[in-house]
Amino acid sequence: MAPEPATADHVYRRVRHEIVEGTLLPGQALKLGQLTDAFGTSATPVRDALNRLVGERFVDLLPGGGFRVRPLGAARLATLYQWHGQLVQLGLHTGVSQPAKARIGALRRDLGRPDQLATATSALFAILASDAGNAELEDALTAASQALARARALEHRLLPGLRDELSQLVATIEGDAVSAARRAMARYHRKRIRLSPTLHKMIPSGHV
């Protein structure tokens, strides 16, 4: 791979990771000069990386040509949970394979640790995405799940029974009834859609 595309890919992965992890906050400006200095590269690969993130809806391109982390308002958060739920329902339509069920069952060891609940939840949806057998669906579900990472990390503060809810969800998916798994997922997402206004207030913002 030529050096410049490799640099653009590196910048893309780093910036996307920092958005997902919350190091870069919703609404925060992404200044080209600062990023070129931080990555020790020219403006072209940084701009290419940011435009790629614009295409994935992690970053907004501003009218003057600047960039910012896409704001995460309460309405958008609710829409993301709804979209994520719809994608999961598509993935569950034909059921879950036995190897995927085994991987999901192995997540139980993390459900007893409060600091691992968000990670285990992300892993659950990553397994379902990869098991869908549809690359486009997998990419869409992965992107939606990553966009929800900041909110997911706060869910335990609003849902004291989160561990039990996730344990029951895992057990239902491991069962043979696809309809039961789909109903459980629908409940899971409806609850979070209702909580979106409160979760939104808890998420730090990069607006000044």
The model's pTM is: 0.82
Distance CA 27, CA 34 (A): 16
Helices (H) and strands (E) in the chain, counts: 12, 3
Residue in 110, 89, 75 with CA at minimum distance from that of residue 187: 89
* pLDDT attached to residue 1: 43
Q: Answer for the pair 48, 8: CB distance below 8 angstroms, yes or no.
A: yes
Q: Which two tokens stand for residue 145?
A: 């799940």
pLDDT in tens, the chain (208 residues): 445 555 899 999 999 889 887 889 888 999 999 999 999 999 999 999 999 999 888 899 999 889 999 888 899 999 999 999 999 999 998 899 999 999 999 998 888 787 888 889 999 999 999 998 899 999 999 889 988 888 888 898 899 899 999 999 999 999 889 999 999 999 999 999 999 999 999 888 765 4
Q: What is the DSSP string of 134-188?
A: -HHHHHHHHHHHHHTHHHHTTHHHH-TTHHHHHHHHHHHHHSS-HHHHHHHHHHH
